[in-house]
Amino acid sequence: MIDIQELTKVYGQTTVVDKVSLTVEAGDVCAIVGTSGSGKTTLLRMINRLVEPTSGKVLIDGQDTRSVPAHELRRRIGYAIQGHGLFPHRTVGQNIGTVPHLLGWDAARISARVDELLDLFQLDPAQFRDRMPNELSGGQQQRVGVARALAAEPNILLMDEPFGALDPVIRAKAQEDLLAIQKRFNTTIVLVTHDMEEAIHLGSRIAVMDGGKLLQYATPQDILANPATDFVAELIGGDRPFRLLSLARVASLVQPGEAKGAPIQASASLREAYAECLWSGRDALPVSDNGQLIGQVSRADLARAAARPS
């Protein structure tokens, strides 16, 4: 659990982060969104003390982060940044093993962990372990960057626009990988992005920042339904109904009954189901789960789910 209390950072005359308080529960994914210069990166970097706060404090599992030396704190917290920051003179394996090495793990344990992570990120260890970072594609570099951040099995992972430099297809894949890994290890993640779509997709809670202030901190549903200010509404943009639909799964709207045509997976999002209704001109779709038909979902129900919550 990360407990941020009245955190403030002042550079000269400018207050870059202004009395921000928020709590990220263990296992949550907190997505910080906001326009450029709103203080997202500064807020994130105060968590692992890459930036020392002017005032306020950060507690991790109840312990004040200032009670341990900064470098020890950072070894316990994973950190992945845009442009990955891989060490160009170290192999992929050495890069991933950086923090375990600093923590004094023995060589056998480090190399086992490196291979495990490479596997997890679908990079064949035999092929990639001894490559240099400049021999990887952008997407592979980014995965190695995240693998490195996770190497010492941190409970907390901080990410600053980790997918910013990736093309949309690789980006979507990287997001899925991250969510899968997050679920598997129940990692608490704080992720900075300026992309609301990404925040809604990844975040279990979204923190909206503007001019150093925290405008709203709520679940994606809440933010979409009740944006706290006009600025938040503007940040969400015009396609709120579709974003709302993308948050829920078909399973939540399944009704008994039959419908014609190709079935849709229960795990698909409502948005995909609605798109399929419109595209194939059907009023209802059969729903299947693990190859078994379990009922149908109707276009009318989908449309209702997209309406402004009351």
Partner 1 sequence: MSIGLVIRLLVLALLVVFLVSPETFAFLFEPLAKNNQPVIYNQGSLLDLTLNHLLIVLIATTLATAVAVGLAILVTRPFGAEFLPLSRSLANVGQTFPPVAVLALAVPMLGFGTAPTLVALFLYGLLPIFENTLTGLTGLPPSVTEAARGMGMTGSQRLIRVELPLALPVILAGVRLSTVISLATATIGSTVAARTLGEVIIAGLLSSNTAFVLQGGLIVGALAVLIYDGLSAIERALTRRTGQGARANA
Ligand X SMILES: Nc1ncnc2c1ncn2[C@@H]1O[C@H](COP(=O)(O)OP(=O)(O)OP(=O)(O)O)[C@@H](O)[C@H]1O
98 binds, among ligand X, Mg ion, partner 1, none (CB under 5 to 8 A by kind): partner 1
* Nearer residue to Mg ion within complex by CB, 41 or 182: 41
Which positions from 179 to 218 touch ligand X by CB under 6 A, shown as an x/- string? ---------------x------------------------
Residue 180's Cβ-count burial label (10 Å; 0-12, 13-18, 19+) is: exposed
* Nearer residue to partner 1 within complex by CB, 60 or 81: 81
- Using alpha carbons, select from 73, 150, 80, 77 the residue that is nearest to residue 113: 150
- DSSP H/E element including 165: none
Listed in sequence order, the residues at least 6 apart from 281 whose beta carbon sits closer than 8 Å to its beta carbon are none
Q: Which residue is nearest to Mg ion (CB)?
A: 41
**34-53 residues near partner 1, rule: CB under 8 A:** 48, 50
Q: Cβ atoms within 10 A of the Cβ of 139, count?
A: 17
Residue written as tokens 């779509």? 197
Q: How far is the CB of 32 from partner 1 (least distance, A)?
A: 17
Q: Does 128 bind partner 1 (CB under 8 A)?
A: no
Which positions from 28 to 47 touch ligand X by CB under 6 A, shown as an x/- string? ------x-xxxxxxx-----
Residue written as tokens 């093993």? 97
Range list of H helices, the chain: 40-47, 70-76, 92-96, 98-102, 107-120, 125-128, 138-150, 168-185, 196-202, 220-225, 230-236, 240-247, 270-280, 299-306
* Nearer residue to ligand X within complex by CB, 49 or 75: 49
Radius of gyration of the chain (CA): 22
Assign 84 to helix, strand or coil: coil
Which positions from 37 to 76 touch Mg ion by CB under 5 A, shown as an x/- string? ----x-----------------------------------
How far apart (Å, rounded) are the C-alpha atoms in residues 107 and 196? 42
Q: Determine which residue in the list 46, 73, 147, 199 makes contact with partner 1, applying CB under 8 A.
A: 73
* Nearer residue to ligand X within complex by CB, 11 or 87: 11
Q: Does 202 bind partner 1 (CB under 8 A)?
A: no
Residues of this chain that interact with ligand X (CB under 6 A) are 11, 16, 34, 36-42, 194
Residues of this chain that interact with partner 1 (CB under 8 A) are 48, 50, 71-76, 79, 81-89, 98-99, 102, 132-134, 145, 148, 158
Residues of this chain that interact with Mg ion (CB under 5 A) are 41
